[in-house]
Amino acid sequence: MNASLQPAVFGATGYSGFELVRLLTRHPGAKKPLLLRRNGEAGGCADLAEAYPQLAGNGGFPLQSFSWHELKSAGVDVVFFATPHEFSRDVAPEAIANGFRVIDLSGAWRLKDRGHRNVYGFTEKPEDAALDNAAIYGLPELHAGEIRNATLLANPGCYSTSIILALAPWIRAGFADLEHGIICDSKSGVSGAGKAPTAKTHFVEVDGDFSAYSVFGHRHTGEVLEQLGIGGGSLQFTPHLLPIPRGILSTIYVKLAKPATAEELELSLREFYAGKPWVRVFGAARLPQIKFSLNTNYCDIGFSLSPDGKRAVLVSCLDNLLKGAAGQAIQNMNLMFGWDEREGLQ
């Protein structure tokens, strides 16, 4: 494969942005990414290798100011936004208006329902309504066909990915009793909170602790409801902060609509994800663990069934910075430009 695609990246200095640059740099179909400073951004490093010495020795990764004209002259094909939601909301429309395809890792364009978008506190602009409707939710295992033709690709949230991928097969097959309700108990490493330290995420506060947060109000809840096609009364999602750098484990409690065997439930998962290279089904034999998917683009799914066949516990694990962010963005890029989903991720 010849390196023919020219990517550009906003927000390369964050954890997800760094992972994105690292993956793009080794992708056989991509040229070295252009790293862009946000308008008005001052200070910080002049070269990404100053913040991440892992990149040293690759000829430098300068962070540069930009204009859309300069990006066109450089032959940029796709612009990644690993930025705060508000920046993506303001600048992604400009990128699209200038003819670029956009892959946005923020929550700016993920949600169709305005009530769900309200959790981000956006100022809704009338001119953005068309983009809200046109944005494609970038979960390849559910929307590969739409992703291939996307102009604006909204990369899913990390928690959302772990929950949606675990539940979608059983909900579509009618195994889950939605009236009874589903409980999603999810845990994430500290990198999920972003690079900027806060009073709740620096080492002294997190080490040796384990805490719940954003109960009844986490931003990813709307994504899960919309993508699974269920109402808010059918699901309770509670996120927790683990004292580890990265990784997500979601424990999901499901009452079955009718008694089922472990073989039936496992077959449902395996058939749903047949030919989907980045989902590994563990079935009922062994439950996934964070360390199995760490530093990979895999989402691992397994379950245990109660002896009476009426209740099941799903366990879903992934790396929040890869399948939950940058890795999934590369998987989406591969689909958008006609490559195998595994390119640059193996």
Catalytic residue annotation: 158
Are 152 and 92 in contact by the 8 Å Cβ rule? The answer is yes
* Eight-class DSSP state of 55: G
Give the contacts of 318 (CB within 8 A, at least 6 positions apart). Answer: 158, 161, 162, 247, 248, 293, 298, 299, 300, 324
**Residue 74 corresponds to which tokens in the numbers above?**
């450089």
Report which of 256, 244, 233, 85 is spatially closest to residue 157, judged by C-alpha positions.
Answer: 85
241 three-class SS: strand
Long-range contacts of 36-40 (CB under 8 A, 24+ apart): 36/8, 36/9, 36/10, 36/12, 36/63, 36/64, 36/65, 36/66, 37/63, 37/64, 37/65, 37/66, 38/10, 38/11, 38/83, 38/87, 38/91, 39/91
Handedness of CA 142, 136, 34, 65 (dihedral sign): negative
CA distances for 83 relative to 91, 104, 211, 309, angstroms: 10, 8, 26, 45
Q: Which residue has the tokens 């390119």?
A: 343
